[in-house]
Structure 1
Amino acid sequence: MADHQRIHPVQDSDTAAVATPPQKATTPLVGRGSFRSENGDPEGQYPPPLRRTIPYTPTKPPRRKSSCCKKCFCWTLSLILLIIIILGILAAIVYFVIQPKIPNYSIDSMRITQFNLGTDNSLSATFNVNITARNPNTKIGIYYEDGSHLSVWYVGTRLCEGSLPEFYQGHRTTTMLSLMLAGQTQDAVGLLQSLLVDQQSGSIPLNLQARVPVRLKVGGLKLMKWKFLVRCNMAVDSLSEDNIVRIRNSSCRIGFRL
């Protein structure tokens, strides 16, 4: 039996050249001073340099203090408006139920008992004035209290003064008041000359002012103290002693003050 023919593979020159592992280069692939090496980019191998960063802290939103102030202001304004509305309703009820009316005053007559110039050029004057007071209210009474003050003026100069008595004026009543007003004016020579000029024309302007503290009575309730402010403008024919003065015209206005 013949020996089997052994076949030994013969490597091709090209195949042998490929299979032979390449020799390592003895010279560096990258020049000196370069940051790259044969193992790759050093930035991918080494950790990045430490950087100092500022820690982030979230800021809290500012508190809205203005909103609290606005709420307080709105509540206060609403409360004030509510009080005003309630007071308005009460005033309307009182007005329609009680129907208040303003008192009326008029000067009926005036008599001069003294009006002469003294040796020291002072003018002494005494007037007797009759005043009518009317209360037209059906449910309101008027208490005239102590502390009233009346005065008669001529061109900014006070001639005489006095006061009202204390009394109570009931519903729908008329009261006649006879008052004596007295006073003295210093250095009245110029005043008398002005009076003589007006007396020749037959019209002397006088002004009566009154401040009267009163209390109103509604039913059985006595209300707070008020002050009546009365101003009466009138024109008289003369200011002669022991003479009844004729009042040519007069008009009175009244105001109120707490």
Structure 2
Amino acid sequence: MADHQKIHPVQDVEAPGTPSAPLVPRDMTISEKGEPGKDQYPPFKRTIPVTHSKPPKKRSCCCKCICWIVSLLLLLIIAIGITVGILFLVFRPKLPKFSVDRLEITQFNLTDDQNLSASFDLTITARNPNKRIGIYYEGGSNIGVWYTDTKLCQGALPKFYQGHRNTTVLNLPLTGQTMNATGLLTTLQQQQQETGNIPLNLKVKQPVRIKLGKLKLMKVKFTVRCKLVVDNLAADQNIRIRSSSCKFKFRL
């Protein structure tokens, strides 16, 4: 053979016992101590998955409506409070005053069927102390005279307008009849003989309209409670009022 070829044996990498070549990156250098250079490794970065929070849920229409209603109510309450405060400062309202001036009895006796018939003539003075407030006394009032828990007679106040700082004297006829009143009349006579005083209660319920300047407000009701002490309840005699005190209250 003219040309001689050199045949180099090829190492079988899969044969058992054959040392395998170390897997060293080409760019990796070996330090003097035989350890891989740490500064030669590419930096290791771990990718952390980003979790996105759920978007906030939209408020339902019902919640929005409730919030709007509550806000409007609060604004309305504040507006009413401011208006009432301004009216109070401008008009300086004062409660009316009542007093019982005179009591006459034209009838107070038992009938044949043991019922007590009573007829009173009552004189009341109503005062309006306000400078800028008028009072319309409407129909539908009721006034009654009571002894303990028994109503002796009743009547009503007339309709009228009471102007600023006005004083009105009212003469009111009251009538009534109490069934089976023998025991009641006996008790009244005994109390008059023993103490010389008979306590009575006067109760008034009256619907009115308040006038602020030219503005006429809605109808409201007031009540008057008067405690009277008289010396007797005899008919056709002079009745002396020993004490009288009245309390006035408004109510819707």
Percent same amino acid at aligned positions? Answer: 57
Q: What residue number does 2:114 align with?
A: 121
Q: What residue number does 1:29 align with?
A: none
Alpha-carbon offset, residue 69 of structure 1: 4.7
Q: What residue number does 1:30 align with?
A: none
**1:9-58 Cα distance to aligned partner (Å, 9 max, x none):** xxxxxxxxxxxxxxxxxxxxxxxxxxxxxxxxxxxxxxxxxxxxxxxxxx
Q: Distance in 1 between matches of 2:185 and 2:164?
A: 44
Q: Distance in 2 between matches of 1:226 and 1:245?
A: 34
Any residues of structure 2 matched to 1:97-246 within 5 Å, and which? 97-200=90-193, 201-246=195-240
65-74 or 181-190, larger mean C-alpha shift: 65-74
Alpha-carbon offset, residue 79 of structure 1: 1.8
Structure 1, unaligned runs of 5 or more: 1-5, 7-60
Query: Structure 2-normalised TM-score?
Result: 0.74
Any residues of structure 2 matched to 1:242-253 within 5 Å, and which? 242-253=236-247
**1:203-243 Cα distance to aligned partner (Å, 9 max, x none):** 21111111111111222222211212111111111111111
Please state whether the residue corresponding to 1:244 is helix, strand or coil: coil
Matched residue type, 1:137: N
Please state whether the residue corresponding to 2:130 is helix, strand or coil: coil
Alpha-carbon offset, residue 202 of structure 1: 1.4
Q: Compute the RMSD of aligned alpha carbons.
A: 2.3
Matched residue type, 1:184: Q
Out of 64, 67, 83, the position equivalent to 1:74 is 67
Q: Distance in 1 between matches of 2:64 and 2:136?
A: 47
Q: Distance in 1 between matches of 2:57 and 2:105?
A: 76
Q: Distance in 2 between matches of 1:220 and 1:71?
A: 41
Matched residue type, 1:239: L
CA 1:122–1:66: 2 relative to 1, 3 Å: farther
Q: What residue number does 1:40 align with?
A: none
Q: Distance in 1 between matches of 2:110 and 2:65?
A: 69
Alpha-carbon offset, residue 251 of structure 1: 1.1
Larger Rg: 1
Q: Does 1:83 align with 2:76?
A: yes
Q: What residue number does 2:22 align with?
A: none
Count of equivalent residues = 202
Query: Structure 1-normalised TM-score?
Result: 0.72
Alpha-carbon offset, residue 74 of structure 1: 3.1
Matched residue type, 1:186: M
Structure 2, unaligned runs of 5 or more: 2-53
Please state whether the residue corresponding to 1:86 is helix, strand or coil: helix
Alpha-carbon offset, residue 78 of structure 1: 2.0
Matched residue type, 1:118: T
